[in-house]
């Protein structure tokens, strides 16, 4: 763990219906800051990694609030620029019982979506860094963001950084502009070392399905196909989620490299408070494990435990520390004094 982790993506304002209400059932909304890469950055900062956020926000009260929240959690925001436009929003109807959560994006013409892809001097921005993290949400925002994402990963490749890419396919965003989303995602995976995505992500990018019945076997087959299709790729990982109700899931995990694969047994995640950001918590836990030279099994177990804990915390950010994750791994559920 020698250098900084750079996270590139849109910082957003989340507006949620309170409690188990549906959106606008009452005249209240709860406001929180989030965004896929910001979520990963906050987790990594809490795990002790130096993290720089690169993004664009408007020069207004909402943009300043977003920056203040990232600073509060230990992120370096010198790479976040102000630009014309607005802060991207998303509205959340929380899950309850048999009703799943619903997300409504409102991101058109945000500062991030409108920003010039050439506005970032990537060689300078990546100076002192050894890791770049990005997600598939970023290129889905629009053509400028897609071009910027490709410039980021290619610059990181040239400078010898490790690149992690979380597939995070968002059909509702890709459908808003005419492009071949799968081809753009494939170009980013081609520059990545670690791809966080399941068999559905690989199927979308490579154009063929995986018929195995067992979910771990599907992920293994998908990982092998990804390694064949992308010579640069060194690891593929994903969670395996079984939803029993809004309040109870079972969460397992899978990791493969070119020499073998590992699985983490399912955890019973009950009493769920908020599952949004769970995948980002997994990504951050795995990055932490790999950057601190954990063996693959230990890194995967740490990532799964971090993701499981996120389900107990309201908001996008996973506000746990290494000690919290280690306590869960040790089986501790009692009060810590």
Round to whole Å and give the CA distance between 152 and 291: 20
Give the pair of three-digit tokens for residue 70.
């990232």
Q: 30 near 156, Cβ under 8 Å?
A: no
Q: How far is CA 196 from the centre of its chain?
A: 9
335 pLDDT higher than 80: no
Output the furthest CA–CA distance in the chain (Å, rounded).
Answer: 55
Q: What angle do CA 223, 177, 202 make, to 5 degrees?
A: 5
265 pLDDT higher than 70: yes
Q: Say which DSSP state 73 is in.
A: T
333 pLDDT higher than 80: no
Q: Which of 259, 264, 300, 267 has the alpha carbon at shortest distance from 283?
A: 300
Confidence of residue 334 (pLDDT cuts 50, 70, 90): low
Domains annotated on the chain, with CATH: 4-235+287-295 (3.40.1190.20)
Q: Give the H/E segment covering residue 217.
A: helix 215-229
Write the CB contacts of 64 (distance below 8 Å, at least 6 apart in sequence): none
Residues 204-263 have pLDDT tens digits of 999 989 999 999 999 999 999 999 999 999 999 999 999 999 999 999 999 999 999 999
Kindly list the distances between the CA atom of residue 296 and the CA atoms of 236, 237, 285, in Å, as whole numbers in the listed order: 11, 11, 12
Q: Which of 96, 112, 113 has the alpha carbon at shortest distance from 23?
A: 96
| Residue 63 pLDDT | 98
Residues 11-62 have pLDDT tens digits of 999 999 999 999 999 999 999 999 999 999 999 999 999 999 999 999 999 9
88 pLDDT higher than 70: yes
User: In this prediction, what percent of the chain has a pLDDT beyond 90?
Assistant: 95
Write the CB contacts of 101 (distance below 8 Å, at least 6 apart in sequence): 92, 93, 94, 95, 246, 275, 276
Q: If you write DSSP's letter for every residue of 235-246 in order, what string do you get?
A: EEEEEEEEEEET
Residue where the block lists tokens 């050894």: 130
Whether the model clears a pTM of 0.85, i.e. scores above it, the answer is yes
337 pLDDT higher than 90: no
| Residue 224 pLDDT | 97
Q: 203 near 209, Cβ under 8 Å?
A: yes
Residues 116-130 have pLDDT tens digits of 999 999 999 999 999
The average pLDDT across 171-179 equals 91
The average pLDDT across 107-136 equals 96
Looking at every residue in the chain, the average pLDDT score rounds to 95
> Is 233 strand, coil or helix?
coil
Helix count and strand count (H, E) for the chain? 13, 13
Residues 182-197 have pLDDT tens digits of 999 999 999 999 999 9
């Amino acid at each position: 763990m020698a250098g900084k982790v750079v996270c590139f993506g849109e910082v957003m304002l989340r507006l949620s219906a309170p409690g188990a209400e549906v959106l606008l059932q009452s005249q209240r909304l709860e406001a929180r800051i989030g965004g896929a890469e910001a979520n990963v950055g906050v987790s990594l900062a809490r795990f002790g990694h130096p993290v720089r956020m690169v993004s664009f926000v408007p020069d207004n009260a909402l943009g300043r609030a977003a920056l203040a929240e990232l600073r509060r959690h230990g992120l370096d925001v010198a790479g976040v620029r102000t630009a014309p436009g607005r802060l991207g929003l998303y509205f959340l109807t929380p899950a309850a019982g048999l009703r799943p959560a619903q997300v409504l994006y409102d991101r058109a013409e945000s500062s991030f979506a409108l920003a010039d892809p050439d506005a970032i001097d990537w060689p300078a921005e990546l100076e002192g860094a050894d890791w770049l993290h990005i997600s598939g949400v970023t290129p889905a925002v629009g053509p400028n963001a897609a071009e910027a994402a490709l410039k980021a990963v290619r610059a990181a490749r040239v400078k010898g950084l490790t690149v992690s890419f979380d597939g995070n396919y968002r059909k509702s965003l890709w459908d808003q502009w005419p492009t071949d989303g799968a081809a753009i995602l494939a170009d980013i995976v081609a520059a990545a070392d670690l791809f966080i995505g399941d068999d559905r992500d690989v199927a979308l990018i490579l154009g063929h399905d995986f018929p195995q019945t067992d979910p771990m076997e599907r992920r293994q087959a998908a990982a092998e196909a990804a390694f064949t299709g992308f010579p640069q790729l060194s690891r593929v990982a994903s969670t395996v989620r079984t939803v029993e109700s809004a309040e109870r899931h079972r969460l397992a995990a899978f990791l493969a490299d070119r020499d073998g694969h590992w699985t983490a047994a399912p955890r019973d995640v009950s009493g769920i408070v908020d599952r949004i950001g769970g995948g980002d918590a997994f990504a951050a836990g795995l990055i932490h494990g790999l950057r601190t030279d954990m063996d693959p099994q230990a890194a995967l177990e740490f990532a799964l435990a971090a993701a499981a804990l996120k389900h107990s915390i309201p908001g996008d950010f996973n506000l746990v520390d290494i000690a919290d994750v280690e306590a869960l791994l040790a089986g501790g559920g009692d009060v810590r004094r």
